[in-house]
Amino acid sequence: MSQSTNPTTQFQTDANRVTADVDRRSFLRSSLRGYQTTRDATQERFLNYESARIAAGDAKWEAIENLDVYLAQFADKLEARGATVHWCSDSAEARDAILDIIKKHDAKSVIKSKCMTTEEIHLNDLLEKEGFEVVESDLGEFIVQLRDEAPYHFVFPAMHLKKEEINTLFQEKLKSINTDDPEELTMVAREVLRQKYLSADIGISGANFGVAETGMISITENEGNARLTTSLPKVHIALMGIEKIIPRLEDLALMLPMLATAGTGQHLTCYNSQLGGPRQDDESDGPVEMHVVLLDNHRTRLLADPEQRDALRCIRCGACLNVCPIFKNVGGHTYGTTYQGPIGSVITPHLRGLKDWKHLSHSSSLCGACSETCPVKIDLHHHLLRNRRDAAGKGQGGLAERTLMLGFTIVMRRPWLYRLTGRLGKLGHVLTKPIHGTRIDPFYAWKKTRDLDDPAKQSFKQYWKSRK
């Protein structure tokens, strides 16, 4: 990833590079095909999956449209049970809040379970700079952390890597044995991380849901690393975006199976834990302190958009990435965002500025596969269109786009000019044929990867007139 260049250029460069890597692309595709097969089988078991989506979507609508009430309730309940709630407007505030807690406890080492929100606020960089040892405990996250890379996919962080590459990595960084057996590799990581749980002073987790009614966070996982992270260290910090709220505890009975089915194709993931407060008086273990750090970081800006607040209902299952033809071709790192794929393309312009991130709205074929697959029915591909509209409306389309659109308007308003353009187009096609796809072709940028069919002998208008 080229960090210094602007996001649009970086996207272009990386997309070109990744699409040319046919081997990696087919590796990705076959892994996503596996996901699809498992998911289809699980979805089959539902009595009525479509209706379940609507009901799940409804839970999140209720939460988002009454977020002020539910969020306050969530915080009050948690505090009543001895947890501390920190309200943070932006990344810097959240980082400071977390750093303060760690310093107050004179902690040395921090163990983390999977939390995309910590990626959003670049927590690891800060903690490492401050001299703390920070270890990611989710296997995929652990692997990308060793590689000094960002997660490739917010649900499958290391999906781009082959077992041979992980073998090399482990040998190099962990002095492990030479093996490319996934089971043995997993056990290597298990052994390394076991000791870390037992010695870590602080456990940091994310939250998949925040239950307003009871003041609990809910964490979904398969490995058990989040359970260990929230059980053994004496302090537990959970970082959570304010949109993660759901109204009632029983809503989880619907949301958790939906998240698993869409996310990995499992009917339920291995551990779904609800944590409400630190160790209570009548309990024998658990952290003595629990801190919940609530993060706004421009989510309220997205909430203020009456159309696109829809996207705050996202439960981060990752399904829209798995079905996206763009994701499959350009891969996760190309996005250069914390949240990749269609949902990332929708929300990043709101969270980080439309000007720099509007190109993501164009990294879509508008096929609608994302909206079709989303377990809470977010209208993703239309939001991409809305972002395009907003960018154009703000005059951010750029000179080329504006000129093109001006030309289009002039032509479309004048039938004679339209006819003339059609004829010139045909002529141009014939004339540029010998240089098609070469650099002197005036339409090189477009034609280098595309073939253009010869135009029909008859125009549509001529055909229409000659019918019958």
Question: Does residue 117 contact residue 206 with C-beta atoms inside 8 Å?
Answer: yes
User: Considering the complex, what minimum distance in angstroms separates the CB of residue 18 from other proteins?
Assistant: 19
- The interface region with other proteins, picked from 251-259, 333-341, 395-403, 442-450 by CB under 8 A, is 251-259
Q: Smallest gap, in angstroms, from Cβ of residue 437 to ligand SF4?
A: 36
Angle between helices 67-80 and 49-65 (to 10 degrees): 80
DSSP letter for each residue of 422-434: HHHHHHHHHHHGG
**Residue 227 interacts with which of ligand SF4, other proteins, none, CB < 5 to 8 Å by class:** other proteins
- Distance of alpha carbon 346 from its chain centroid, rounded? 10
Q: How are strands ordered across the β-sheet holding 84-88?
A: 84-88, 289-295, 235-241, 202-205, 109-112, 133-136
Nearer to other proteins, 99 or 254 (CB): 254
* Options 134, 343, 351, 384; binder of ligand SF4; rule CB under 6 A: 343
Only one of the segments 119-127, 235-243, 369-377, 410-418 lies at the binding site for ligand SF4 (rule: CB under 6 A); that segment is: 369-377
Q: Rounded to 5 degrees, what are φ and ψ at 90?
A: -145, 180
Rounded distance, CA 353 to CA 340, Å? 16
Q: For residues 6-45, which are near other proteins according to CB under 8 A?
A: 31, 34-35, 45
Interaction of residue 324 with ligand SF4, rule CB under 6 A: no
CB of 242 to ligand SF4, least distance (A): 16
For residue 66, give the amino acid letter.
Answer: N
Residue ranges in 200-271 assigned as alpha helix (H): 225-229, 252-263
Least distance (Å) between residue 78 CB and ligand SF4: 25
The entry of other proteins, ligand SF4, none that residue 303 binds, CB within 5 to 8 Å by partner kind: other proteins
Residue 319 sits in the site that holds ligand SF4 (CB under 6 A): yes
DSSP state of 158: T
126 vs 260 by CB, closer to ligand SF4: 260
350, exposed or middle or buried, with CB in 10 Å at 0-12, 13-18, 19+? buried
CA–CA–CA angle 303, 306, 307 (5° rounding): 105
Residues 219-258: x/- map of binding to ligand SF4 (CB under 6 A)? ----------------------------------------
Alpha carbon distance 111, 287 (integer Å): 13
**Does 400 sit near other proteins (CB under 8 A)?**
no
268 binds, among other proteins, ligand SF4, none (CB under 5 to 8 A by kind): other proteins
Out of 23, 50, 451, 453, point to the residue binding other proteins (CB under 8 A). 50
Q: Residues 42, 44, 45, 50: what is their CA dihedral angle, to the nearest 10 degrees?
A: 100
User: What gap in Å lies between CA 342 and CA 380, rounded to an integer?
Assistant: 7
Smallest distance from other proteins to CB 15, Å: 24
- Interface ranges with ligand SF4 (CB under 6 A): 262, 314-320, 343, 373-376, 378, 380
